[in-house]
């Protein structure tokens, strides 16, 4: 006979009360193994999402500098538009989940992205690049937000770091592969149109999979909400959620500022680094290697770092990752006389640091929000995080114009180190929950 204090815990991958969940949810179970097919499908979709933004990593800054002969601030405009549009769309997309299904929002994101490759490839002026990035920001804000939320819905709280590591790995592997391929295409056939047209296949494939194969996951979120360790109460209004994430909750605010600075240095490097490397004699193929190595290391590390965050907690990887990123940026600045070697070494460190930070910040924000309003909270966090692209591009362009390209990278290094120290000072550990909320398999 089993002792009462050693009794097996109930199966909390199902709704309370057995299999008779409401709204046809009797078959809904949380966890990676039981939802593997749908989880893998969403990872493939997010590879295509990442590929869309990877189109611009190597080639677009060079289009601005070499074809249109623009200065650093004018070139930065496309990332500023992309960053602010994506940031706003993240917040709007999270709020829309209260009214529309996740699948419908995902499909809308892909429809918005369909014209982007053709505008980048054939647009007759830089204004077309700016307009394409307006649409690309909406595409990324809706599609990436929904793949994040849908994976979180499926997995449950116990292995959230792993889930987000897989999601971000898929997306940034798409960025890395595309940055490398577009560098080769640009070398063989010119900066336009062949590199950009790769995105037409990504958009078509992502839309087809989202329409035909992806299932909506709101039922999984409702299942988790029934036994979540935080008391739900009434769903807070969006304004209150935004205030919590941005300022009132110290942990969520610390996570938001770290996310902003993480993408600040990414946006700055996006704009500045290709021009800096070419100015120091690095060919376009070499720029492609550097621009691919950074997201490749980022992608390759995130499955392991997501698992690490589930084992040791969220705070240590976040702080360490920000400091490693700062070191990578400092290496680029210090070694610029050997530009390709410095670029590769810096990209390696940037990728390792970002792989520690990126999925862990998402997991920490998810831990601190109730499932009933988690999608909105993540939308606000992602607003601040992706506003960093625009802020970084502005800082990079202005600093490069007033001082130098190398000085712009150094400014990013200092800001990143300070952000890591702020996260260490103000963030509380969010995982595991204090009451030992159940893990999912």
Query: pLDDT at position 21, please?
Result: 42
Cβ–Cβ under 8 Å, residues 146 and 102: yes
Nearest Cα to Cα of residue 114 among 94, 88, 142: 142
Residue-wise pLDDT for 187-206, tens only, equals 999 999 999 999 999 999 99
Per the prediction, the chain carries an average pLDDT of 89
Q: Could you tell me how far CA 110 lies from the centroid of its own chain? A: 17
Tell me the average pLDDT across 405-414: 97
Residue-wise pLDDT for 203-237, tens only, equals 999 999 999 999 999 899 888 877 655 555 567 89
Residue-wise pLDDT for 337-351, tens only, equals 999 999 999 999 999
Residue-wise pLDDT for 304-322, tens only, equals 999 899 999 999 999 999 9
Q: Does residue 111 register a pLDDT over 80?
A: yes
Cβ–Cβ under 8 Å, residues 28 and 219: yes
Query: pLDDT at position 161, please?
Result: 82
- pLDDT band of residue 437 (cuts 50, 70, 90) is very low
Query: pLDDT at position 372, please?
Result: 81
Q: Domains (ranges, CATH) in the chain?
A: 37-227+237-426 (1.20.1250.20)
């Amino acid at each position: 006979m089993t002792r009462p204090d050693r009794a097996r815990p109930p199966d909390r991958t199902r709704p309370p009360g057995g299999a008779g969940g409401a709204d046809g949810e009797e078959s809904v179970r949380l966890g990676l193994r039981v939802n593997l097919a749908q989880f893998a499908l969403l990872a493939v979709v997010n590879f295509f999402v990442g590929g869309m933004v990877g189109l611009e990593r190597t080639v677009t800054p060079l289009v601005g500098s070499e074809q249109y002969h623009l200065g650093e601030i004018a070139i930065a405009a496309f990332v500023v538009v992309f960053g602010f549009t994506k940031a706003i769309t993240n917040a709007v997309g999270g709020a829309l989940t209260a009214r529309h299904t996740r699948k419908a929002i995902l499909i809308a994101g892909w429809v918005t992205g369909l014209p982007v490759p053709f505008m980048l490839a054939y647009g007759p002026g830089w204004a077309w690049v700016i307009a394409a990035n307006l649409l690309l920001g909406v595409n990324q804000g809706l599609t990436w937000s929904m793949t994040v939320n849908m994976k979180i819905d499926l997995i449950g709280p116990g292995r959230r770091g792993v889930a987000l590591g897989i999601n971000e790995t898929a997306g940034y592997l798409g960025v890395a592969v595309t940055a490398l391929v577009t560098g080769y295409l640009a070398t063989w056939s010119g900066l336009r149109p062949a590199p950009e047209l790769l995105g037409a296949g990504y958009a078509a494939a992502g839309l087809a999979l989202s329409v035909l194969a992806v299932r909506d996951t709101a039922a999984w979120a409702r299942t988790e909400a029934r036994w979540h360790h935080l008391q739900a109460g009434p769903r807070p209004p969006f304004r209150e959620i935004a205030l919590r994430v941005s300022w009132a909750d110290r942990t969520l605010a610390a996570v938001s500022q770290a996310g902003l600075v993480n993408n600040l240095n990414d946006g700055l490097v996006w704009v500045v680094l290709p021009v800096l490397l070419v100015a120091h004699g690095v060919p376009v193929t070499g720029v492609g290697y550097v621009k691919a190595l950074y997201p490749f290391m980022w992608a390759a590390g995130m499955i392991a770092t997501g698992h690490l965050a589930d084992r040791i907690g969220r705070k240590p990887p976040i702080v360490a990752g920000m400091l490693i990123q700062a070191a990578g940026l400092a290496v680029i600045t210090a070694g610029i006389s050997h530009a390709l070697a410095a670029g590769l070494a810096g990209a390696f460190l940037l990728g390792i640091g970002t792989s520690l930070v990126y999925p862990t910040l998402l997991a920490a924000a998810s831990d601190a929000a109730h499932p009933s309003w988690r999608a909105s909270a993540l939308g606000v966090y992602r607003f601040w995080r992706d506003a960093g692209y625009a802020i970084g591009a502005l800082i990079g362009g202005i600093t490069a114009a007033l001082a130098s390209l190398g000085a712009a990278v150094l400014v990013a290094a200092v800001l990143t180190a300070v952000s890591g120290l702020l996260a260490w000072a103000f963030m509380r550990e969010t995982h595991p929950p204090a009451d030992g909320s159940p893990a999912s398999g």
